[in-house]
Structure 1
Amino acid sequence: MAPQRFHEQFDQIQRSLPDVPLAMGPDDSAEFIYEKGVVLARDGEEAQVVEDAVRTHFTATEGLTADHVRRAGPRANRSGITRIRVGDPGEGGRAADHAVAGALRALRETEGRAGRRLVSRNHVVSIAVNACPGDEPVPAPRTGPANPAAAGTAYDPARAVGVLVVDTGLTHDYRSYPLLAHTEGDLQVRETDEDGVLQQYVGHGTFIAGLVAAVAPNTDVTVRGTLNDAGAILESEFGERLFDAVEDGWPDILSLSAGTSNGRVDGLLGVAAFMDELRSRHTLLVAAAGNNASAAPFWPAAYAALPEHADAVLSVGALRGDGAFGACFSNHGPWVTAYAPGERLVSAFTGFGTPVPYVYQHSTYEACRYGFSYSCTCRSPRHTGVLSEERHAAPGKPDQVMFEGLASWSGTSFATPLAAGLVAAHMTANQLTDPRAAARQLLAGNAEFAEVRGVHVPALLPPTWRPVPVGAA
């Protein structure tokens, strides 16, 4: 059964996508979230094959009429994906989408003959699903140092490395942070609610941009607000929005702190066209491994393990505060290329001019939900959250804090821009123009290692990063 944290995130994402009925899968588990009653197929002949196969299956086994299966759009987009309605999204609860399960079963034999995947769920791609509840930002002293601190490299516009961050947009006051002087991009559409309280995930993209700039000051960082809507987007839209993000030109490095698992080892149908295009470009995709504490492939990061994409993708897991071991929440496995610090980093947030209140959404635990014995972000610092208390019969009062510029935050979301920054810094230091070659050199020359689930893995540690002591739980 899915843990409470996953149900809390499910509720939050459902509120952000009110017109999209959602389900969790593959059953009442915490592996992923997807659109109810809809499957994805490639445009053209394959979409017709899917429609015909599903229509035949349902008519024979479920007693449904032939017009029950129909196209739901979008069509003729660059990602080449069509949504096909296969069931009534109003039927069943969040763990009972029998129509989609039946549609997937109907295509198994056909897919086997074709030698490729023809149909997929329409997954929700998110920056936070199933993350540890301590992953919400914590106020950091405005006068205190960032972690990592700014590197000493001077900014040279003629040689600056282009880094594109696809995330939530920039907060309105981001230019108050000196390291973001050369950062451009989309502003967050709506930062606060009607009461002036900061909404969840606002500042995520700003925090990431600050980390890139700290590790690699000689960068031109652009932030796209692709995930402004509570950090979540449907797979059917995500591929198209990735193409939108690079419409003005492909960057040297694309930093992406979002994804989803899907129960498979061959990627996401909705981003297949983008990933194929990426292969023909010079861009390096640096992608977060995800915060599910799982070995299940998390996409797009897990493309790093597919031979045809390995050169173009660097997948990044998170290390705990001292850098010696993996963070309790970090995904792991052979598909993760390297690990970088991911606990209690300090970077730009919001509230530089006027302090901004934030109410916690998730409550911390008495002990690490993954069974780790160190003082992890699952349990410290302690706070009570709105979404957690909504599920209690006798709810308590959620905690509120004030942000005045900087925040401390944890997640593979933030290990990722550290790795992206290290690649960019290596390009600058060695006068390289090929980010993929720079990533290969960086990894080949790396002498740092950490232990993750009993395995020694490459640890990418920025020179200005300061280890944070971890105590026993």
Structure 2
Amino acid sequence: MAPQRFREQFDQIQRSMPDVPLAMGPDDSADFIYEKGVVLARDGEEARIVEDTVRTHFAETTGLVADSVRRGGAETNRSGITRIEVGDPGEGDQRGDRAVAGALRALRAVEGRAGHRLVSRNHVVHIAPVNACPGDEPVPAPLDQPPNPAAAEAAYDPDTAVGVLVIDTGLMKDHGSYPLLAHTRGDLQIKETGDDGALEQYVGHGTFIAGLLAAVAPNTDLTVRNTLNDAGAILESEFGDKLFEAVDRDGWPDIISLSAGTPNGRPDGLLGLQAFMEELRTQRTLLVAAAGNNGSATPFWPAAHATLPAWEDSVVSVGALRSDGEFGACFSNHGGWVKVYAPGERLTSSLTGFATPVPYVYRHSTYDSCRYGFTYACTCQYPRHAGQLSEEQQAGGGKPDQVMFEGFAHWSGTSFATPVVAGMIASHMVAHKETDPRAAARQLLTAHAEFAEVRGAHVPALRPPTWRPVPVVALATGT
């Protein structure tokens, strides 16, 4: 029986949010995760319209009346979002929420008259490897093997360094033992290990990303915030405010590297992030965002803003290439909304720092064949290991595999292609004395982008000069 990654990740995220009942959506499949019994609307008149419409719709249905509205003031809810309770979150199971679905249906006619969206599910936003189909889990790399991409030959100069903000899971406490991260600042991971002394799931994610960025662009002022500390997951209704908090602490940076998001089945983004995205447009900051690891063409937000007319200059969406750099990685999301691809399979960076070896117990089992139908030795299958969550789901009773990390790791995902692109843009800014990150992104994509093949299409690709391609092993004819 194949591992059920979405189910495993759903259960893991639910454990990290014990007080928030969650459901899978949309209601006839499992593409995203959202809060049961709640919808979102903009503060003020639109929230009143949504509440009144839902109340009227459910007037004759016991337990499905919007009986509570929580409105945040300007200081506590900068995103301007109201949570409206539309049902009992304890009703039904985790395969959907008929109260939320009913509320969305009730607003369709009103939204048609208004000409824009009024209501939304409260989605769970997560780091890309946690999105129901993680690229893979980290694998220990030998300490005598250099990082990949290797460190570029450039010195750190605080007077000319490009400011980069990484929104992620925070830094490992001993990250400074890795020379490339010696001047990196920010928040520490709140909890690194469990009661058994083993690394928690996806800790080190922010440190790994910072290491990639510092390798590609050593002349950067890197700040890492632990906005996504709890299993890399946060509710949409909270995420917008957390993004504002992150930029308010140090000012808007040149570049934001964000390896997080969610699909929502819509072409117009996340309601809870709209205020932040509108503010981003007025700044000079460039958002470089991961396209996600669902192996899907469904837009993944906020990365998919990259091809919306209002955000074409302010957002770069990044997909992942496989280890040879010639084709798309099996797990990478794809489609016209992905602006550029970069190496994102089996990259090598610092995971834990180098002070103390620490164990890790695998959560997911590998598959017998690629779950996306690819015919090369992809991360779905190799390296082989048995995972704790997969064993629990299958009631196999087997013992999960454990490894030791001593600093470096191999890891795959659009999460890691993203800082590669962010670093290349920052490096371009330094080399060409370009002070506008958005102009730098345009210049880089216009003059220096090469091409790769992704699902039969030739797409723009950026490959760092210090990145070393790794030949892939074909399991059968094809790619």
TM-score, L = length of structure 2: 0.96
1:63 deviation in Å? 4.7
Q: How does 1:377-416 map to 2 (within 5 A)?
A: 377-416=379-418
Q: Provide Cα deviations, 1:253-297, integer angstroms capped at 9, x if missing partner.
A: 000000000000001000000000000000000000000000000
CA distance in 2 between counterparts of 1:107 and 1:453 reads 37
CA distance in 2 between counterparts of 1:25 and 1:64 reads 21
CA distance in 2 between counterparts of 1:417 and 1:134 reads 16
1:471 aligned partner: 473
1:120 aligned partner: 120
1:69 deviation in Å? 3.0
1:16 aligned partner: 16
In structure 1, stretches of 5+ residues that fail to align are none
Q: Percent identity?
A: 75
In structure 2, stretches of 5+ residues that fail to align are none
One-letter code aligned to 2:208? F
Structure 1 stretch 151-160 or stretch 378-387: which is displaced more? Answer: 151-160
The 1:218/1:351 distance shift into structure 2, 3 A limit, reads closer
1:173 aligned partner: 174
One-letter code aligned to 1:93? D
1:27 deviation in Å? 1.7
1:395 deviation in Å? 2.1
Structure 1 stretch 20-29 or stretch 400-409: which is displaced more? Answer: 20-29
1:182 deviation in Å? 1.8
CA distance in 2 between counterparts of 1:223 and 1:297 reads 26
Q: How does 1:224-303 map to 2 (within 5 A)?
A: 224-247=225-248, 248-303=250-305
**SS of corresponding position for 1:200:** coil
Kept in 1, the 8 Å contact 2:350–2:408? The answer is yes
1:111 aligned partner: 111
Q: Provide Cα deviations, 1:418-463, integer angstroms capped at 9, x if missing partner.
A: 0000000000000010000000000000241000011000110000
How many residues are aligned here? 470
TM-score, L = length of structure 1: 0.97
One-letter code aligned to 1:331? N
2:434 aligned partner: 432
**SS of corresponding position for 2:274:** helix
The 1:447/1:20 distance shift into structure 2, 3 A limit, reads closer
2:199 aligned partner: 198
1:393 deviation in Å? 2.8
**SS of corresponding position for 1:450:** strand
The 1:450/1:405 distance shift into structure 2, 3 A limit, reads same
1:72 deviation in Å? 3.7
Q: How does 1:61-460 map to 2 (within 5 A)?
A: 62-64=61-63, 68-76=66-74, 77-127=77-127, 128-130=129-131, 132=133, 135-247=136-248, 248-350=250-352, 352-460=354-462
Kept in 1, the 8 Å contact 2:64–2:86? The answer is no
1:403 deviation in Å? 0.2
1:4 deviation in Å? 1.2
CA distance in 2 between counterparts of 1:398 and 1:134 reads 19
1:169 deviation in Å? 0.5
1:73 deviation in Å? 4.7
Structure 1 stretch 379-388 or stretch 443-452: which is displaced more? Answer: 443-452
CA distance in 1 between counterparts of 2:414 and 2:470 reads 16
CA distance in 2 between counterparts of 1:173 and 1:421 reads 22
One-letter code aligned to 1:69? D
CA distance in 2 between counterparts of 1:360 and 1:65 reads 41
Q: How does 1:21-36 map to 2 (within 5 A)?
A: 21-36=21-36
- Runs of 4+ in structure 1 over 6 Å off: none
1:48 aligned partner: 48
The 1:32/1:464 distance shift into structure 2, 3 A limit, reads same
The 1:400/1:65 distance shift into structure 2, 3 A limit, reads closer
1:132 deviation in Å? 4.4
Cα RMSD after superposing both structures: 1.3
**SS of corresponding position for 1:436:** helix
The 1:75/1:101 distance shift into structure 2, 3 A limit, reads farther
One-letter code aligned to 2:307? A
Structure 1 stretch 266-275 or stretch 445-454: which is displaced more? Answer: 445-454
CA distance in 2 between counterparts of 1:472 and 1:52 reads 58
> Would you say 1:58 and 2:58 are equivalent positions?
yes
CA distance in 2 between counterparts of 1:347 and 1:229 reads 22
The 1:413/1:447 distance shift into structure 2, 3 A limit, reads closer
The 1:152/1:52 distance shift into structure 2, 3 A limit, reads same
The 1:31/1:166 distance shift into structure 2, 3 A limit, reads same
1:28 deviation in Å? 4.7
1:133 deviation in Å? 5.3
1:153 deviation in Å? 1.3
CA distance in 2 between counterparts of 1:3 and 1:84 reads 36
1:301 deviation in Å? 0.1
Kept in 1, the 8 Å contact 2:130–2:232? The answer is no
Kept in 2, the 8 Å contact 1:39–1:84? The answer is yes
**SS of corresponding position for 2:394:** coil
1:156 deviation in Å? 1.3
